Structure 1
Amino acid sequence: MTTRDTPAALPGRVRITQGFTFEAAHFLPNVPETHRCRRMHGHSYRVDLALEGPVDPVTGFVVDFFDVENAFGPLLKQLDHYCLNDIAGLENPTAEIIAAWIWTRMKPLLPTLASVRVYETPMSYAEYSEG
């Protein structure tokens, strides 16, 4: 087996994104009683983790997608098919708060994490990044 040469250095930075899905229920306790999201309901959530950095000249990766999957897997299991309100830190689980909650847990594991995007619907998302 032979390997092909990878360019010694690619100029600039590359952003990669890996998506995940989970099903969960929630309600928003801090909205008015008449707001439809005050009642328990569910979503088919999608989470996009974006990582940014230089391409490694040996592997050709910014980060191996397999490593991203392994890092996020335990958190995904904590979210999938649960009531998000029952999870510490997600008592008011808006998309914005979920994105920030995921960020604080993933950034130490994935130092090149650039943003976390949480979709509640195919057309509605919140995106968290530092700065």
Structure 2
Amino acid sequence: MPLVYVTRRERFNAAHQMYNPKWSREKNEDVFGKCANKNWHGHNYELFVTVKGEPDPNTGYCVDLKKVSDVVKNEVIEQLDHRNINLDVPFMKGKLASTEILTIEIWKILAPLIKEIGAELHELKLYESENNFVTYRGE
């Protein structure tokens, strides 16, 4: 049976600040620019979750996308939507709130849960804007 890749898109809105507490305010502003704004800034994120598997001969699905959506919404989106990533998101406590780190942390949550519903997580793509996004494959 051939391997198929299926993608589900979810959206969330969140604020964050790029700020390394080991550095001075000046260095943070020099490195991160506007993203170090002491009053935070926000994004309308889009998360693309790609899973892979073989189509089931009885359903034609490699995975039920409703189950994928439920896992992503319940375990990730609920924690992030309309939150401050630096302050309100338990899985990001003590971590730099870059889109890169956020994507890796989302992977850690989703990979085992996607296995439980019968597929394998292949790729996450997280857009923080229409021009900037991160792709991660668990490597």
Range of TM-score over shorter length: 0.7 to 0.9
Query: What TM-score does the superposition give when structure 2 sets the normalisation length?
Result: 0.81
Matches within 5 A, 1:10-89: 12-30=2-20, 32-34=28-30, 35-39=33-37, 40-74=40-74, 75-86=76-87, 87-89=89-91
Deviations 1:5-59 (A, max 9, x none): xxxx4xx211000000111100011272231111110000000000011111111
Instruction: Say which SS state the counterpart of residue 123 (structure 2) adopts.
Output: strand
- Counterpart of 2:112 in structure 1 is 108
TM superposition shift of 1:121: 0.3
Instruction: Say which SS state the counterpart of residue 44 (structure 1) adopts.
Output: strand
Aligned length: 121
- Identity within the alignment, %: 30
Unaligned runs of 5+ in 2: 21-26
Unaligned runs of 5+ in 1: 1-8
Query: What TM-score does the superposition give when structure 1 sets the normalisation length?
Result: 0.86
For the 8 Å contact 2:104–2:138, the answer to whether it is kept is no
The residue type paired with residue 126 of structure 1 is: V
Instruction: Say which SS state the counterpart of residue 25 (structure 1) adopts.
Output: strand
- Counterpart of 2:103 in structure 1 is 99
Matches within 5 A, 1:112-127: 112-127=120-135
TM superposition shift of 1:69: 1.0
Higher CA-based Rg: 1
